[in-house]
Structure 1
């Protein structure tokens, strides 16, 4: 089991070290989000609460190829009675809309969640959307489901939602705004 954990940790580190972006011309973005974790009421009773504030959440992303973006993120509970720190690695697919002002996406990935003294892996699935309001700045909304196997007593499956600002390190060439009057 320890070897599997080490291999997964190395894989996630490789992904996050060479990671992240929004389009083929603009490889890198950085995000800072307000995020929260929500457990079911029953699971929340076992874990010390149903809601955990996860702000700030920092992410770094790089566009790789064929509408695929790799994302690495970290967040931790600050000022909460529960301990919860998550290290996330995601692969996003943007349906070929990375040059648009509105960029919906789906993703799959994994996390290592450290709660108390135990680190637990999860499988992550979700959807999101980035609304670019300039060539440098955007607003990102995301909904993530984190699946934790029943064999891990330290963590239960839960959701994580986030909203935040995204900064592009390059100048984005955007298609005309959907709401502009001239085309």
Structure 2
């Protein structure tokens, strides 16, 4: 579940994701493994203005031999499609990852929310976390996620073309 896509009338969403961290094989060998499960991942988002939404997320490795907890903050842009049933977006932000030590990263990526009702949607997202080489405790990696989104007030969706009375 992920929290995404709101509008000026409906500002808040909550998300719960299945997420993972994937390092390159070479980096994974140095860090104790190339894959870390990050489930569950919790997110809270607020629509701000003009297609911009601020999102805060947290997830941690549970039952994995590697320690990895991430606190993420991103600004997402939805191309003015926040009232549609399909809402693609791009984003940029940053994270603090607590592994061997606390490491900052620069995050960017893209995603899409598929709203199947006024309150619930399905979100898919791909995030790249860039870590500077000076931080030995962390390497750059990707973090894909898939989850459900809950809209607190409900959304007024633009009707689908095939549901209109034209």
What's the counterpart of residue 141 of structure 1?
Answer: 124
Query: Unaligned 5+ residue runs, structure 2?
Result: none
Cα distance, 1:80 vs structure 2: 0.6
Q: Secondary structure at the match of 1:151?
A: coil
Q: Work out whether 1:125 is the aligned partner of 2:69.
A: no
Taking the aligned partners of 1:24 and 1:68, their CA distance within structure 2 comes to 10
Q: Work out whether 1:58 is the aligned partner of 2:42.
A: yes
Q: Any conservation in 2 of the 1:21–1:64 contact (CA below 8 Å)? A: no
TM-score between the two structures when normalised by the length of structure 2: 0.95
User: Number of aligned pairs?
Assistant: 162
Q: Any conservation in 1 of the 2:5–2:78 contact (CA below 8 Å)? A: no
Cα distance, 1:48 vs structure 2: 0.2
Taking the aligned partners of 2:5 and 2:79, their CA distance within structure 1 comes to 14
Taking the aligned partners of 1:172 and 1:67, their CA distance within structure 2 comes to 15
Which stretches of structure 1, 4 residues or more, deviate above 3 A after TM superposition? 180-183
Query: Unaligned 5+ residue runs, structure 1?
Result: 1-19
Describe the shift of the 1:175–1:21 C-alpha distance in structure 2 as closer, same or farther (beyond 3 A): closer
Q: Equivalent residues in 2 for 1:37-48 (5 A)?
A: 37-48=21-32
Q: Work out whether 1:157 is the aligned partner of 2:147.
A: no
Give the number of the structure with larger relative contact order, counting CA–CA contacts within 8 Å between residues 6 or more apart. Answer: 2
